Structure 1
Amino acid sequence: MTEQISETGGITLCHESFGDPADPPLLLVMGLAAPMIWWDDEFCAQLAEAGFHVHRFDNRDVGRSGHGTGRANLPLAYVLRSAPYSLADLADDAANLLDALDIERAHLVGASMGGMIVQEFAIRYPHRVRTLTSIMSTTGARNVGLPSPRAALAMLAPGPRTREEYVTQLVRTSKLIGSPGYPFDEEHFRRRAERTYDRGLNPAGVFRHLAAILSARDRTADLRRLAVRALVIHGAADPLVHVSGGRATARALGADLDVVPGMGHDLPREVWPRVIAGIRRIAFANR
């Protein structure tokens, strides 16, 4: 398990893999301003043990991947659907990474904005998708998946100036949007925040990610046209992307829907077996 750098379509992407290259490839796509390490090492290892060759990567503008360009204007992004780059561009990054890895088709798993990205990937490259799992995400329709006011304000809080301020803020935000039905492991989130800071932050990139989300089109009609085995997982208590977003995604895809009681906008260790079993079930359904 060693981080690698690939030049893909003009964007430098940092990535790493887990498991046996002879197993079916699975690509994990993380969300807003979230580096690949937010797919916990142990979670990735458990997916590998379940029979996948697992790949995770930093999206552009995150961690050790390359930075985008342009200044994001969030009101214009929402009203005019104008942004420095789109979710479709981020989906193209993922496709280019698969090219660099010499992978023609993969199982796709995306969380939050990552779920939006894998949806766009499936729309743009349906022939490259083995299965699709969308976790705590939504369709782009503006009447579903809305955040609570408190969660929305937390996402727009001023950026921290020091490492300790960053760690404190991220731990506080993680608790706010996390899973009320499961214990909050503060030490785990503190270590994650420290590791995230040390791998590199990109404040301008956070706003470019936000602009990509706010400017996104409604994918519902295109999702309905897909013929792909799909699973949608959503927390019943998600304050950042309301569960209505997951329900709408499942309806559009004709997908299995797993609404997890007590789960918020994170993946507590206690739900990993349920999530991995679901991913494995749709991946190996015809075996």
Structure 2
Amino acid sequence: MTSIASAHGIDIAYESFGSPGGRPLLLIMGLGAQLVHWDDQFCELLADQGHHVVRFDNRDAGLSTHLHDAGVPGSGRPAPYLLDDMAEDAAAVMDALGWPAAHVMGASMGGMIAQALALRHPERVLTLTSIMSMPGGSVAPPTEAARAVLFARPATSREGVVAQAVATASVIGSPGYEPDRERVERLAGLAFDRCHDPAGVARQYAAIVSSPDRTEALARLDVPTLVIHGADDPLIPLAGGQATAAAIPGAELKVFPGMGHDLPRALWAEIVEAVTKLTAGRPGQAG
């Protein structure tokens, strides 16, 4: 069941898995992605390990508030919000759940938001898991092929969106693992049916490029941190994960050979195991 957290004029849609008495774990998705891109089965694996898992739609994605009146950034028009504002949306979900603190895991842009949340509210982040992300700046520019799919003209029809998702996955997906075309098509179709808003994706991207580099601030962070990255990520190359781990004192860097800019099903068990090891060290307060 989808619930709504409201704060600062923004509604954030969220869903949960597992027992409310479990270790609170907040999942934050990436650019243009929706809560459904945290697969149900992946969330259930985390829940089976004693987590109360909550996934949500960032602003301008899925069933959360879309800032249509802000238009499309560019041509001198500033970004209508920054990653810090998106971090406050994540905090609002925690408030709605009654969580004073939580374990936080973010992928890609979601990792950036998770970093921002830990910097703004360190007392509320029990542990931080940053996946295929970076601390900002130009430390890990995408390959030309990845840049091309990132900035490709968005499709408008359901069929076109699904085909574009398959084409994108063939470029930025994990070369060391068998492509899961059925999963890509299913999630792309499901996301389109929930909400298709290319302008919202553009506003999220503007938030990324307009937000300050977090490297210096992360050096003062005192939160147990796990950094996960693919050795073969063309969209945010490994240097992004290395820079994140180097910036945060005591952070553990876990690199998966053959992993690109996605979460291959074959790695789910190992990722869940690593995250569980991290969160078990700080059980936290149940929501």
- Relative to the length of structure 2, the TM-score reads 0.95
Q: Secondary structure of 1:281's match?
A: helix
Identity of aligned residues (%): 49
**How far 1:285 moved relative to its partner?**
2.6
Aligned residues of 1:90 and 1:117 also touching (Cα < 8 A): yes
Give the aligned partner of residue 42 of structure 2. Answer: 43
The match for 1:129 is: 125
Give the Cα–Cα distance (whole angstroms) in 2 for the partners of residues 274 and 94 of structure 1: 26
Aligned to 2:85: 89
SS of residue in 2 equivalent to 1:152: helix
User: Equivalent residue for 1:202?
Assistant: 197
- Report what 1:71 is aligned to: 71
Mapped to 2, the partners of 1:272 and 1:8 lie a distance apart of: 33
After the TM superposition, which of the residue ranges 102-111 and 212-221 deviates more from structure 2? 212-221
Alignment match, 2:213: 218
User: 2:158 aligned with 1:163, yes or no?
Assistant: yes
2:244 to 249, 256, 263: 249
Are 2:134 and 2:236, in contact at CA under 8 Å, matched by a contact in 1?
yes
Distance 2:225 2:159 in 1: 40
Does residue 284 in structure 1 map to residue 283 in structure 2?
A: no
1:273 CA displacement: 1.2
2 CA distance for matches of 1:27 and 1:95? Answer: 10
**Separation of aligned partners in 2, 1:208 and 1:91:** 15
Q: After superposition, what is the alpha-carbon deviation per residue over 1:7-43, rounded to whole angstroms, capped at 9, x for unaligned?
A: 2331111110000101111000000010000000000
- Tell whether the 8 Å contact from 2:5 to 2:92 is kept in structure 1 after alignment: no
CA deviation map 1:67-111 (0-9, x unaligned):
12423435758xxxx411000000010001111111110000000
Match of 1:119? 115
Shift of residue 281, structure 1, vs aligned partner: 1.1
Query: Does the aligned pair in 2 maintain the 1:74–1:214 contact within 8 Å?
Result: no
In the alignment, residue 70 of structure 1 is paired with which amino acid? Answer: A
Query: Could you tell me which of 132, 137, 141 is aligned with 1:141?
Result: 137
Aligned mate of 2:222, from 218, 221, 227: 227
Segments of 5+ residues of structure 1 without an aligned counterpart are none
2:96 equivalent among 76, 97, 100: 100
- For 2:70, what is the secondary structure of its paired residue? coil
Instruction: State the number of aligned residues.
Output: 281
Structure 2: distance between partners of 1:64 and 1:270? 29
Amino acid at match of 2:106: G
Residue 32 of structure 1: SS of its match in structure 2?
A: coil
Q: Which residue of 1 aligns with 2:145?
A: 150
SS in structure 1 of the partner of residue 183 of structure 2 = helix
Q: Structure 2: how far apart are the matches of 1:244 and 1:71?
A: 33
2:267 pairs, out of 264, 268, 271, with 271
CA RMSD of aligned residues (A): 1.3
Shift, 1:6, TM fit = 2.5
Confirm or deny that 1:192 pairs with 2:174.
Answer: no
Deviation at 1:160, TM superposition (A): 1.0
Residues 231-287 of structure 1: CA deviation (Å, up to 9, x unaligned):
000000000001100000001113000010000000000111111111111111368
Counterparts of 1:51 and 1:90, CA distance in 2? 27
Letter in 1 for 2:255: V
Residue identity matched to 2:229: H
